[in-house]
A and B are shown apart, each in its own frame.
Chain A
């Protein structure tokens, strides 16, 4: 485990990480905190020394001029420089990777998720790998995805509530939206967090690297049930188990007629 990782896990108490994309997030958090800690310690040391040395009892006559050099300007410039570096070389590229460079849908797991008070609806394309056509005008309380009942592709689609399974080491693409109010899909160990906004469909992706069952949090106040919106779980399993699970659900494909 690298020093950066050790620092993140042991000093900053970051929770366990289980995705590829999360590495960048953790690294940046650690780097920024190094900057913060450096500034903090530096200034606190100076601060306490100054208070001790220039207390009135020890230094009854104040100096009209005070500091003559311009060391401070250099400190300020350094801070600015470090921030610029972090921004240009880490933050921006990582964000571009997250929102612009999507893995191609063919060899990744594509899921549609629609949040509602207070649960997560997920939808898989099913065996044919094609989602049924959708339209707002079909949206009802039990057809939250607005799937077109007429469309054949929709027939084998799989819809589940809260229990979301994905295969490990394979990118997951999520098309996220909400049915009622704004929620926010947060999977701490995947280091993903994305608001689910009604009327918008936002796409995000991540690549789980560790097997396990992960808590899905709702990070946006969405009503009295916000704190209790804890039913959602992401299960990362082997490709084989995933296929088995998918098959077991195929029968349960919901019909909207």
Chain B
């Protein structure tokens, strides 16, 4: 579509035609395949990532639904899709019932898919690809072809993971953490597929990370100094470094586990292992803890990969809808850097109960507590930014506002886990499930929803429907809490995770069967919560339908936007035609100020774009506190 013109620079009406000279592919219009499948345009690739990731998110959601059904009604055939399951999965889903093996596959793959195929590609790759180059005033990513390759590797990895469900024996069953020896002793081939899939995904992430860092360092527009970067770019920058440096050790670990499974080495298999009766015929001498160290060395930075981009999105939308500068931009930058460094030295807080001595555990407890401080600072800055604002409650903003307390709950509940003494009681219970889901689901996912509603106009030139947006928000908000809040109670009561029957065997009723009244079982109330959660999850799924429809419907029928900058934003991605052409900007532009110059006293509009020439702007603007 021809660009919609917006009166204020960077480009004026008369300038519009020049789009054509700049537009590289003008003469030989690329056909559909070149344009949308094998594109090297960061915006197309971003959208490819986004849609694929959303599909995986939905898939991960369905896996989880099956688990929740099994938890609430152990041993009962799955309604509706039960027969289908048996057809496609065969024995593991015999007559529609989810067998323990299948449950373990579902759990492992739900975790893997949500983390590595859903959230990371959406938060980092999709938004990063689409928004970051625009925000820093770049024409594209530094290495467009690498960018395409990275998406293809991701797609392939996802395919491998997906296919693994349909091989005999089904997908990996050792949890997303794939602890050895279990991962090696399970006879089926699911784990191999998991490893191969992971290596592909890691490759993809590495290519992506390199590309992002190079782009942010090299392709910043003139005047876009480091301290003028929108905070979202900072979070993406740090995230890229986390991926770059934390993933390779897991790759090494995957290679070793691959050798264990295929070449019968025993990197992770100790001497004298007696699996199911017979002594395993392996040389032994390996160490199960080695895997855990390598995994969590990735695992912890990975969780910050899940949250940092979300925080970045929140920051942008918050500033835009409070119509005032973010409070404490500098401390936000330093905090995110601090988190980046610290996240490499806290990994063993996932291993408190593997027989850790006082010295080591003290070290990791200390680092864990220290790393919580920058998070506190970040949330504090965001909270304080509300003060004195003129808050607009549109759909993106609603999701952003919900993010704050939701992340707060998730983060705060990380603290009791951070002390190994209290972790003794909470380790591997639903308290942990609730802890991190509060961060990734009503936290990260909400931020991603917000991002989608916020940047959709830039991608399509149309708004998403506001009413259904709000409906989507309130539904998601209520049911997310309905699902995850009870898990804290269950965890406190000692309900364990990864229970293919929702802990039925541990419930008080069952214990009665074992003669004397047994202490430590789960009360009927705690068990009854499982049904409650199931309904919460079902409703949570239903309220996503308006979103999905809204998303696709609005592409063609959404309300057209008046100009290129519908939210009256200051950052550069709004200073382009809509949608931005290949090459993004019609004119080389220059940046004169920080990213959040809203409500500058004396300025005509209540927003001052980063690239608006100083002559249009009144006297030196005083910078906000901190």
Contacts and interface: CB of A to CB of B under 8 A. Distances in A.
The answer on direct contact between A and B (beta carbons under 8 Å) is yes
Interface of A: 12-16, 18, 24-26, 28-29, 32-33, 35-36, 39-40, 43-44, 46-47, 50-51, 54-56, 59-68, 70, 72, 75-76, 79-80, 83-84, 86-87, 90-92, 94-96, 98-100, 116-117, 136-137, 139-141, 144, 146, 179-182, 184, 186-189, 191-195, 197-200, 202, 212-215, 217-228, 230, 233
B376 A76 contact: yes
B369 A66 contact: no
A66 B385 contact: yes
Contact of A139 (B101, B274, B427, B498): B274
11 contacts: A14-B492, A36-B413, A63-B599, A66-B387, A68-B625, A116-B274, A117-B276, A141-B277, A197-B288, A227-B505, A228-B505
A181 B182 contact: yes
Nearest to A56: B390
Give the interface SS of chain A, mostly helix, strand, loop or mixed.
mixed
B272 interface: yes
Nearest to A22: B425
Given A193-B425, A224-B99, A91 B520 contact: no
Contacts of B510: 230
Contacts of B261: none
A38 B387 CA distance: 21
A213 B519 CA distance: 6
B412 A40 contact: yes
Nearest to B415: A32
B204 interface: no
Contacts of A83: 369, 372-373, 415
Nearest to A60: B390
Nearest to B284: A199
Nearest to B92: A224
A54 B405 contact: no
A41 to B, nearest CB: 11
B427 A189 contact: no
A47 B405 contact: yes
A197 B289 contact: yes
A92 B391 contact: no
Nearest to A96: B358
B380 A72 contact: yes
B503 interface: yes
A213 B425 contact: no
Given A18-B519, A221-B104, 11 more contacts: A75-B380, A91-B420, A92-B358, A100-B357, A180-B276, A181-B179, A184-B427, A188-B425, A199-B273, A213-B516, A223-B173
A66 B356 CA distance: 47
B408 interface: yes
Interface string B148-161: 00000000000000
Contacts of B365: 87, 91-92
B324 A76 contact: no
Contacts of B404: 47
A168 B621 CA distance: 73
Given A194-B353, A195-B354, A62 B598 contact: yes
Contacts of B279: 139-141
A214 B519 contact: yes
Given A184-B428, A227-B505, A61 B599 contact: yes
Interface string B507-536: 000110011111111000000000000000
Contact of A80 (B361, B373, B515): B373
Contacts of B182: 181-182, 221-223
A254 to B, nearest CB: 16
A86 B415 CA distance: 11
B483 interface: no
A189 B104 contact: no
Contact of B498 (A14, A116, A189, A221): A221
Contacts of B288: 182, 197-200
Contacts of A86: 419
Contacts of B498: 221, 226-227
A15 B600 contact: no
B199 interface: no
Nearest to B401: A51
A13 B405 CA distance: 23
Given A83-B372, A136-B271, A141-B274, A67 B390 contact: no
B554 interface: no
Contacts of B174: 221
A225 B100 contact: yes
Contacts of A200: 270, 288-289, 355
Name, among A137, A141, A195, A221, the residue most crowded by chain B CB atoms within 10 Å (CB to CB). A221
Name, among B186, B284, B492, the residue most crowded by chain A CB atoms within 10 Å (CB to CB). B492
Contacts of A66: 324-325, 327, 384-385, 387-389, 624-625
